[in-house]
Chains A and B, each alone.
Chain A
């Protein structure tokens, strides 16, 4: 299990991402990030990154690493 972070352009995308991950059995924590101006992100726990990214992309969640 690894922990990694994605950054979303708005709290709405972060929430949408969290809901999708939650329904797929992944744990995540929504946090605010301030590194490049305000944004929200998800700290995700998952064995692999690729399936998580695919889930998010398929659902139209915009994010960066």
Chain B
């Protein structure tokens, strides 16, 4: 089997991540941050260590500014819905700007807010060079700007540090969806310039499913209002969620095994080095992209970027059929629309969808060559 669906979830997980996750499952554990006894304290320590590992990966010195969630979708919902609520206390119907490459975990919360008449929404397309219209974004003066750090469809990345700086001066809150980038790209706030970062724990971080995170920069001028309310293990007589992070946004019992696996994933990544991971993945992507470009009937959807997945199609064939044919030959990819409908409309693939090939850190050159051989046969 050749696994080329790492943009959906990383496989295989590193042995270190599996070992650390199993260790916490086998250990006597209590509910972290709830009780005062040994087992609860031990669990809380495991959560804190994971926070510290992830903070180091993000070059943050305040682990308490990392909020654990059940996944990137939950993180984005908290960031978006909670920020709009917070901004909405001062300004009616704030303007939110985003782009066509966003995943439905960004778009659907925004469409919900738009339907409820709580925001004004502008969704922008890149120009022919793949860049967002920065002058237009600045002239719009959004209250909230949400952008992906790397598209889950094409690997599209926008270089927006300067734009972020200018938007910040105008009081705009900036959220990035780093679900596809964290683990192979420097996603620190110093590098991105964003205020909030949302990410999944089981993709680039290589943890198990069930975890995600929402991180806040030091200069973030606003904290989202709580979207979920419930037990936090703190400030119990307060009818609202506590004011301080992370408890403010961590209602309910934390997914301890997923959190431990994310922390272990961060440690694994730091040991291997972001640059090595990126170079390995880039090399595989380069082999696949160049090979597919030489085929007659398969097409690589352009523009392509050095990192992230490759989207291909074969004429007007339905992408699911091609993915199914690949699977019959032992190659696992993803067909369809990848929960990013506007990206497919922009790329002109709204009828066929696309077959997404997403290699990971464990994909070998041999596997890439085997994939190309099969695609070559299917190209006849």
Contacts and interface: CB of A to CB of B under 8 A. Distances in A.
Interface residues of B, number: 25
Contact of B36 (A10, A32, A37, A60): A32
A10 B63 contact: no
B190 interface: no
Given A11-B44, A37-B234, A31 B36 contact: yes
Given A10-B33, A10-B247, A60 B62 contact: yes
Contact of B235 (A12, A15, A39, A60): A39
Contacts of A32: 35-36
Contacts of B62: 60
Interface stretch (B181-189, B236-244, B287-295): B236-244
Contacts of B246: 10, 12
A11 B35 contact: no
Contact of B244 (A30, A37, A62): A62
Contact of B247 (A9, A15, A31, A36): A9
A11 B234 contact: yes
A13 B51 CA distance: 12
If over half of A's interface residues share one DSSP class (helix, strand or loop), that class is named, otherwise mixed; here it is mixed
B232 interface: yes
Interface string A20-51: 00000000001110001111100000000000
Contacts of B35: 32
A4 to B, nearest CB: 19
B246 to A, nearest CB: 6
Interface string B17-48: 00000000000000011011000010011011
B62 to A, nearest CB: 6
B233 interface: yes
A19 B45 CA distance: 11
A11 B233 CA distance: 8
Contacts of B243: 9
Contacts of A36: 237
14 contacts: A9-B243, A9-B244, A9-B247, A10-B64, A10-B246, A12-B48, A16-B63, A32-B35, A37-B236, A37-B237, A39-B234, A40-B36, A60-B62, A60-B64
Interface of B: 32-33, 35-36, 41, 44-45, 47-48, 51, 62-64, 232-238, 242-244, 246-247
9 cross-chain pairs, A with B, having the tightest CB-CB distances, nearest first: A32-B36, A37-B236, A11-B33, A37-B237, A15-B48, A10-B247, A10-B234, A9-B244, A38-B236
